[in-house]
Structure 1
Amino acid sequence: MAADQENTAQSRSSRPSVGRVLQQARTDAGLTVEELSSTTRVRIPVVRAIEQNDFTHCGGGSYARAHIRLLARAVGLDPDTLVEQYDADHSGFPEPAPAAPLFEAERITRHEPLRPNWTAGLAAAIVAVVGFTGFTLLGDGSQDGSRPAHSSVAEADPSKSAAPQRKPEPSDSAIAAAPADRVVVQLIAESGSSWISVNGRNGQLLYEGVLKEGDSKTFSDGQRIDLVLGNAGAIQLYVNGKKSDNSGEMGQVQRLSYTKGDPGTG
């Protein structure tokens, strides 16, 4: 038993690390770190750290495995083999996730509470007082039998009454009344968990992490949203208020882009 463990340890120490294998494959494929990052949507600092076999920037074992799979497929390697090597090197235990990357997306979407505008409130109060005073004076002047000019506005012609408006039927979409000047995407993990990466205009990272089964997240941008789904079949996708059927299959990595004019893919 001890001899087998020693042989296994020697075998691990003699083989190239996961990061070294990925780096060599990228070099053989003629890709730069920037090109690989653009293809996989994995940030440049994370790619560089992984190639140095440093997975602390990934945010934990689940994220590290998802990154390894994306990078391996992009450079023509078998992702399952590298993930198995990663698990063997790290004894199958996930690494602790640093707090900052996990809450980075929340800082982007969080808005500061609005402060009360006392100037506007005071102006509205003054207008209300002046209007009430004018209404009172006009009312006093109409006691001699003459009709004030504003009375014609108060009386409505019954024959011209507006027909009752029909209430809109409830939509089966998960996103109600998506604004026309933005692209709105909602992701729901219906059939399992999936690693996701969400970028806005100019490649701005909106979110990167694992969406667990039963959870959902909504993202919006004024121009464009790019998605990478690590397990596309587990995700139900809604774009600009409409259900999309092109998210992909279970275990498939899917890359999608949407703009204000969709639900068709951009």
Structure 2
Amino acid sequence: MTPLTLLTPSQPKPHQPLFVYLPGMDGSGYLLRSQLPHLAPHFDIRCLQLPPDDLRDWHSLAQETLDLLAPLRQGRPLYLFGESFGGCLALMMASQQPDCCDRLILSNPASALQRRPLLLWGSHLVQWMPDVLNAISALGLLPFLAALDRIPPENRHALLDAMRHVSSKAITWRIGLLRDFRIPPEDLARIHPPTLILASTLDHLLPSLNEAQDLIRILPNAKIHHLPHSGHACLLERDTNLLNILKQEDFLSKQLTTNHLI
């Protein structure tokens, strides 16, 4: 089986806190691009990349990602950031190993898929679509994935390219994982690291705000950061600055604040 990969999108900083990005359905690890100029001076950043033909179940995917991160941590604070599909993976990792990170950040986690019965039903059809139709349908999905008027043209192209490069086999696998995604409430309640959930009010793909409100009732140390004008792919929007959000929410470790980040 093809191994999971950790990309290093900026100069390694072994003495800085570790920031790990878990990607959405595209699995590319490249869509943190807009946030890198702000985050890179202050974090040692890694981005998980998923093989397009991956058939791991949730448990294996979480455990192998944890194994990849273990030698990198070396006593440093670890910020685990999961976007959409990656938000589910982050929750799975933290439920399996509650001390896996010092800060947990979720952006419009795709656990909200359970609230869209029509999407769940339609997801069964994806396996019958050839890749060429998937590429065309990606263009039609773009307005649901993103608030296009808030995303610069270069980021729209990056999002579309990432979606088009996911094969129907990979989409079928990932949607199947989301369809089966379940973490018992008692396991979620064991996730004690401070947790910040970014919730886009104008997410037309998933009811992310409702999902965030439910999650903070279970997660013992969680809060919501509302993005009232954002869509699902909020990281690519010109007005979204993740570093500033972390500052606003007092979500930075003492090591970062000591280094005069704020």
The question of a shared fold, defined as TM-score above 0.5 by the shorter chain, is answered with: no
TM-score where L is the length of structure 1: 0.27
Structure whose alpha-carbon radius of gyration is higher: 1
